[in-house]
Structure 1
Amino acid sequence: MSNLIIFGGTFDPIHNGHINTAINVQNYFHFDRFIFLPCKVPVLKDNAQASTTQRLEMLRLAIEETNKSELHFEIDTREINRETPSYMVTTLEDYRAELGNTIAISLLLGIDAFATLPQWYQWGRLLQLANILVISRPGYQLKSQCLRDLLNEQETYKAKHIQKRAHGLIYQFNAGLYNLSSTAVRAKIKHDDSINSDLPISVGQYIKKNQVYR
């Protein structure tokens, strides 16, 4: 194994925007491992709406439904099992302790999450531990001067660089435009609106059967 990518999130619930983004990223980059990292206590979000067990099961069902072994999708539960709040820098330190300093590790972030980076715990250390693959959105303008400066200093325009370099780079990638959010999906469920196009079939069935978000 020479590289991996980490896709962290609440996944409450996981939806087709998450899955299609992951598929498009992996079809393009072919990382040796693609790790979904559900968090237990989101530091910058309100409390999760579904239980930890439910979120994990929905994530497992969604990955199983893709049914493509070449995508190398897997779930890492270390943050869910952690009793303290989820800090990405701590998780990346764990990976480095396990895998060493030469493997290329990338963190997958949507542009909205990337824009909040200065609010993250010890955010300045993230690029000392990993690369950042940012899912870009046409027309989006970063307001933070420090993030614009960071892009000027650390951005690469060659995809292969984040597959080979251990850390320190930022690459922006257009994985497609999916106008979906877990918040919107939960609102639809509460109002009995159709979610058939928003979720993997098995996830929708699980939510209905178990009355999640009701």
Structure 2
Amino acid sequence: MAHSQQAAKPAPAGSADRPYRLGILGGTFDPPHIGHLALAQLCIDHLALDELVWIPTGQSWQKSADVTPAADRFAMTELAAAALAGTPAKIRVSRMEVDRAGPSYTIDSVRQLRAEYGPQASLCWLMGADQLLRLHTWHGWQELFEHVHLCTATRPRFELSALEGPVLKALAERQADTHLIQCTPSGRMWIDQMLAVDLSSTSLRQRLAAGEPADDQLPAGVAHYIASHGLYRDPSGKA
């Protein structure tokens, strides 16, 4: 089962012939769904990750104030991560953003992880197409490449031409195959266009608020947590 990390631990070392490979899956996870699991599994397989860390956002500076409390989102993320038990990668959930004061910025998290894992480890920030479309709005987004690779799985019907100019330019300069991602510390972009999962937490919340079933889109533990804690119910009493 996935476990949370309370404090930094000594960075694991890679072997003599390759660096240690860490995948980082950050997000609000409001709620975490099967799309997140599919992205995680895809990257574990294609990038041969040694470890995958989930990082639930503490204070999301780009989203509205009605985000579900961090304690609930963290608990749901642990339940979602546990569904990856049995994969080759070590799975854990980090409290670094939940416990950090102030707005949660990705750049702060990747700086911390780079310091913990050292200059040689291959660090990959995993994201969906919706995050890639907004990448140019992230605080300090261009500095991310100094610390991590950016690895994206697109949705069906997603077109790279939809990217804003600065992101499209970065992709043209930095796009690489999985082998280069695995063997270098940071600075590259990898895009997988084969993952056929078109799902968003926003649409899930809307379904749940309307009282519509959504268990087919949620890990079983997350679905049970939502039901038992009464999350996402419409305040009008419909759900």
TM over 0.5: yes
Seen in structure 2, the aligned counterparts of structure 1 residues 65 and 167 have a Cα distance that, compared at 3 Å, is closer
Give the TM-score normalised by the residue count of structure 1. 0.93
* Structure 1 position 161 matched with structure 2 position 180: yes
- Return the offset for 1:11: 0.3
* Structure 1 position 128 matched with structure 2 position 137: no
Give the Cα separation in 2 of the matches to 1:66 and 1:103: 22
- Return the offset for 1:81: 0.5
Runs of 5+ in structure 2 lacking a partner?
1-13, 15-19, 234-239
Runs of 5+ in structure 1 lacking a partner?
none
Deviation per residue, 1:122-142 (Å, 9 max, x gap): 111110111111213444123
Amino acid at match of 2:164: S
Give the TM-score normalised by the residue count of structure 2. 0.84
Q: Higher helix fraction: Structure 1 or Structure 2?
A: 1
Amino acid at match of 2:173: E
Deviation per residue, 1:20-75 (Å, 9 max, x gap): 22112212222111111101111222235322111111111122233325242211
Displaced runs of 4 or more, over 4 A: none
Q: RMSD value over aligned CA atoms?
A: 1.6
Deviation per residue, 1:180-213 (Å, 9 max, x gap): 1111111111111011211111211111111011
Aligned to 1:46: 64
- Return the offset for 1:175: 5.2
Q: Tell me the number of residue pairs that the alignment of Structure 1 and Structure 2 aligns.
A: 213
* Structure 1 position 188 matched with structure 2 position 207: yes
Q: Secondary structure at the match of 2:110?
A: helix
Deviates more, 1:117-126 or 1:132-141: 132-141
Aligned to 2:45: 27
Amino acid at match of 2:171: L
Q: Would the aligned equivalents of 1:24 and 1:175 in 2 still touch at CA under 8 Å?
A: no
* Structure 1 position 210 matched with structure 2 position 229: yes
What percentage of residue pairs aligned between the two structures are identical?
A: 25
Give the Cα separation in 1 of the matches to 2:56 and 2:228: 22
